[in-house]
Amino acid sequence: ETGVTQTPRHLVMGMTNKKSLKCEQHLGHNAMYWYKQSAKKPLELMFVYNFKEQTENNSVPSRFSPECPNSSHLFLHLHTLQPEDSALYLCASSQGAGGQETQYFGPGTRLLVL
């Protein structure tokens, strides 16, 4: 596979469930990101990892827990979500810090919380 992949593509979960979103990049990049995209809102940056270290947490509620075991993989663990967390969750990657990196996005996971 090439580029940035995300699984699952669609997810429906109850408020008491625990699930995980997975992202994998095949571009040799060192930085990975989680974004949330709700209807009619700008992309909201959630987390940034650079060389496996978390460098950004944009005041995201603790019911979202990221994990980055290596530069190619990124997870978003979900637990006790709320209906307002329903959105498209996008993973992206870029070469790394500094310079003029471009972010490349995965196809996203469309999440519905019931």
Partner 1 sequence: QKEVEQNSGPLSVPEGAIASLNCTYSDRVSQSFFWYRQYSGKSPELIMSIYSNGDKEDGRFTAQLNKASQYVSLLIRDSQPSDSATYLCAVKSNFNKFYFGSGTKLNVKP
Q: Which residues here bind partner 1, judged by CB under 8 A?
A: 31, 33, 40-43, 45, 48, 50, 55-56, 88, 90, 94, 96-98, 100-108
29 vs 64 by CB, closer to partner 1: 29
Min separation Cβ 76 and partner 1, Å = 15
7 vs 55 by CB, closer to partner 1: 55
56 vs 67 by CB, closer to partner 1: 56
Long-range contacts of 2-6 (CB under 8 A, 24+ apart): 2/26, 2/27, 3/27, 3/104, 3/106, 4/91, 4/92, 4/93, 4/104, 4/105, 4/106, 4/107, 5/106, 5/107, 6/89, 6/90, 6/91, 6/106, 6/107, 6/108, 6/109
Min separation Cβ 58 and partner 1, Å = 9
